[in-house]
Amino acid sequence: MSSILDDLNEEQRQAATHLDGPLLILAGAGSGKTKTLTTRLAYLIDCIGIVPNSTLTLTFTNKAALQMRYRALNLIKQIDSAPPLLCTFHKFGLLFLKFNIHHLNRKTNFILIDTEDKKKILKTLNSNIPLSLLVSEISRMKNWLITPNEALDKAQDNTYKEIARIYGVYNNYLLEKNMLDFDDLLLLSYEILDKNPTLCTEISNRYNYIMVDEYQDTNELQYKLLQKLCKTHNNLCVVGDDDQSIYGWRGANVNNILDFKDNFLGAKIIRLEKNYRSTTEILDVANKLINFNTKRLGKELKSIKGSGKDVELLESIDERIEATSIAKKIKKLIKSGVSLDNIAILFRLNALSRSLEDGLNRENIPYKLVGAVRFYERAEIKDILSYFRLIVNINDDFSFLRIVNRPKRGIGKVTQDKLESFAQSKQISIYQAVNNYADEIGINKKHIDSIIGIFNTINELKDVLEHSTIQFLDLFKDRINILDTFENVQDEIDREANVDEFYGFFRDYIVQNPTSSLEDFLNDISLSSDSDNDIDNAVSCMSVHSSKGLEFEYLFVIGMEEGFFPIVSENTDIEEERRLGYVAFTRAKSELCVSYAHSRYYKGKRTQLQKSRFLSESGLIEGGISLEKTNKFRKNDLVIHKIFGAGRVVDVSDSGREMKLKINFGGIVRDILSSFVIKA
């Protein structure tokens, strides 16, 4: 037996030494999946004699690819001039197209555009559809292999007909300019392999052994591409965890891993259930929670570390008390010799960081926000603060120039520069310049009128503020829709929650400090948010999504209330929310503290909240709220069936334990049970 297998447990060794045929390594959190995958690659090359460059290992991020390449190359001894190909899906697509795009009668000197380039191109196509919706829908359709013509045929309303039209125009633009976007790297690779069976056979023969990391995160296009790459063999080894599939909102299809045995016949499943990260108590609550999901392959994590402290449940009156309690617990940990780098606080919504930041600042505990911007530095919050500062001082040009086009008013950079230059030349503010020299500034009347309208609104708000701060806030929210500025649909929930959190905080500040002015409020915020961003040894604060793949000795999970974790809306996938809870709990190594508050700011107001259902499901409390159906479908939802493809729901009705859906698949309406489709 090779020494490279000596450090593996029995299940890991079975997976690493599996040779031919499809294999699903169902790897639980902390079970050593990367170690198993890289050891398997080394085993194939060093022990079996597989030619290194006949292997292909795919993952999702450059960081993961670099880490795996480093670990694999440290294990492999038989490396010659043709090393194994280990890269991201998109890197593979790029390499493939460099050699094969001529099969589509396109030149190899194509230009790869990024997301910002994509937005700029779509902006020039003069559509009334919000840019964020165009970007996300075009990407979604490419990843579901839906052509512009198919999109047009299936469009149920004028909005989607227009999106389909723009999709076609955009594709033609890229073709004319010999450009590709990131989705094209995989889509065009698939099209070439699909239309050229001989080439498909050749490429499949070239890569005799294919491995995929984080398989639960693959989408429809990646699954179809893998089918092509495995045309001449079934030597596909995928590693993943259906219980950690948390990216459905960006196209990941959990059914790819759930249906692996059906999609690749004869597949073997090896479960890695030995957890090397967490204590028995932590895994107990995680296992209980995830068992409430119905769509899973099933496994149970077992701790190798053994028993530790019970999971702590922290109850607080509100978020301020919660933050203070956590800060005090962290201080105790520090006093006992724990490094701040070993401590983390997780939340489902970024908006919850506001109270945490305030609490940690009050106790002088260094912290860093991972994958997020500090609350008062977030664009939508800075916009509100700039409006507030302008209300306090209408001659504040710095604040005015930030909000002049937020939300959008068609006042571009050229107009702004003219305004600023003119005011500076007269040594006056922009407000004074517009009031006294409107005809001399040199910008058109439409823009002048729009700017005067801004200042009129500011003065109106200022007048109301003098009589009632609460009425001022209500009028401010009515007159100025901060969220209209932003176009990224994926950020919408977080931005809205941030704005609601801010308004709720401001409302409470008014109640608690009735004699304080708006200026006092702004000064207090400046003092509380003035801290160093570049901190090495610090408590890590982050969303659960950002924590995926990380681990911490001491972990706090906050916001365990209905509406915050899980998020509750008509579009909520409660099973994915539960998987997020599972991911959160399994980041903890030694101690886990789960926190809930009786009240928080919800939709801008102080609200009494229910405890999260996840607390009862994980056994941390008894009872809890009743469970809802795990899949809610509505009329006009776009769904995907693994045989019939994409379709639109035209009617919904109950059918025993499930929902019965009438779905239009390209003109053919079928009755389908809800468990057989997923939302697109």
Catalytic residues, which ones? 33-34, 213-214, 244, 587
C-alpha torsion 71→72→77→82, nearest 10 = -130
Contact 473, 503 (CB under 8 A): yes
Report DSSP letters for 556-589, one per residue.
EE---BTTTSS--STT--HHHHHHHHHHHHTTEE
Contact 82, 118 (CB under 8 A): no
Contact 394, 458 (CB under 8 A): yes
Which of helix, strand or coil describes residue 624? Answer: coil
What letter would DSSP give residue 43?
Answer: I
Which of helix, strand or coil describes residue 459? Answer: helix
Tokens of 268: 């073997």
What letter would DSSP give residue 30?
Answer: T
Q: In this structure, what are the phi and psi dihedrals at residue 26, rounded to the nearest 5 degrees?
A: -85, 95
- Cα 220 from chain centre: 18
Peptide bond into 514 cis (omega under 30): no
Residues in CB range of 124: below 8 A, 6 or more apart: none
Distance of alpha carbon 331 from alpha carbon 554, whole angstroms: 12
Q: In this structure, what are the phi and psi dihedrals at residue 560, rounded to the nearest 5 degrees?
A: -85, 70
Residue 271's DSSP bridge partners are 26
How far CA 267 is from CA of 12, 61, 224, 274, in Å, comes to 17, 26, 17, 22
Q: In this structure, what are the phi and psi dihedrals at residue 569, rounded to the nearest 5 degrees?
A: -155, 175
Q: In this structure, what are the phi and psi dihedrals at residue 634, rounded to the nearest 5 degrees?
A: -125, 160
Residue type, 229: L
Residue 26's DSSP bridge partners are 240, 271
Q: Are strands 343-347 and 55-59 parallel, antiparallel or unpaired?
A: unpaired
Distance of alpha carbon 234 from alpha carbon 163, whole angstroms: 38
C-alpha atoms less than 13 angstroms from C-alpha of 660 in its C-beta half-sphere: 7
**DSSP alpha helix (H) spans, 410-543:** 413-426, 430-437, 445-467, 469-479, 492-512, 518-529
Contact 621, 635 (CB under 8 A): no
Residue 660's DSSP bridge partners are 653, 673
Compute and round to an integer the Cα radius of gyration of the chain: 28
Residue length, the chain? 680
Task: Return the residue matching tokens 């503290």.
Answer: 593
Q: Of 641, 676, 646, whose CA–CA distance to 659 is shortest?
A: 676
What letter would DSSP give residue 659?
Answer: E
Distance of alpha carbon 237 from alpha carbon 268, whole angstroms: 9
Which of helix, strand or coil describes residue 110? Answer: coil
